[in-house]
Amino acid sequence: MTGERRRGLTVAILCGGQSRRMGQDKGLMPFLGRPLVQRVVERVQPLSGEIVLITNRPEAYRFLGLPMLQDALPGCGPLGGAFTAAAACRSAALALVACDMPFVNAALLAYAREVMEADACDAVVPMAAAGPEALHAVYRAETCAPAMKAALDAGELAMAGWLRRVRARFIAPDEIARFDPEGLAFVNVNTPEDFRAAERRARG
């Protein structure tokens, strides 16, 4: 992700986190027989030819053959990884997803990108029942990277807290349902029980 900023979309998959509740690296756990991160990569491939992994364990993810970036600001959680992706991004738009989301929805992300262009905003984030889903969203890298950095410098590590610093548009539940009627897009797997339940859903 170098050179002049260009039109298009880069997809960044965050593969960080301590996975304390899971006890191992979630992205590398076999999901229906393949590493979970590989499933996530395949689900976002229709969006972009440029997919990058944000990981501090590049040797473990080298098998995917994708570009990798290590955290520019280690120890800052998901927002640190998001900033790393946004700061390095040379595409106009950046989609951020997490490696532990087995039902990442490419159609919803594509819609978010369309909304960003149509509404001339900086961030388009689904608003789910649990709150904003900032790791299934699309951002204008040029304006969001400095806003993320300002939040980090202020000690604000919440993944969605920095959105007040930019022009954010939230996708309402009725809009989300058009692309994700079963409500699976934002499922993430934090425990072995979550993982097994998601596999059952995927088989179904």
In the chain, domain spans:
6-203
Topology classification of domain 6-203: Spore Coat Polysaccharide Biosynthesis Protein SpsA; Chain A (3.90.550)
Residue 188: left (phi > 0), alpha (psi -120 to 50), or beta?
A: beta
The torsion region of residue 155 among left (phi > 0), alpha (psi -120 to 50) and beta comes to left
Tokens of 76: 């800052």
User: Which residue has 């590398």 as its token pair?
Assistant: 28
Three-state DSSP state, 73: coil
- Nearest-angstrom CA–CA distance, 6 and 105: 24
Determine the pLDDT at residue 49: 81
CA separation for the pair 192, 194 (Å, rounded) = 5
> How far is residue 23 CA from its own chain's centroid?
22
pLDDT at 48: 85
Chain centre to alpha carbon of residue 29: 18
Number of Cβ within a 10 Å radius of residue 97: 25
Reported as half-sphere exposure (CB side, CA atoms, 13 A), residue 20 has a value of 0
- Each of the 204 residues of the chain gets a pLDDT tens digit; together they read 444 456 789 999 999 755 665 657 899 999 999 999 999 999 999 998 899 999 999 999 999 999 999 999 888 999 999 999 999 999 999 999 999 999 999 999 999 999 999 999 999 999 999 899 999 999 999 999 999 999 999 999 999 999 999 999 999 999 999 999 999 999 999 899 999 999 999 998
> Quick check: helix, strand or coil at residue 115?
helix
Nearest residue to 85 (alpha-carbon basis) of 132, 115, 136, 51: 51
User: Three-state SS for 163?
Assistant: helix
User: At which residue do the structure tokens 């997490």 appear?
Assistant: 98
N- to C-terminal Cα separation, the chain = 37
CA atoms within a 13 Å half-sphere pointing along the CA-CB vector of 121: 22
Q: What is the pLDDT of residue 22?
A: 61
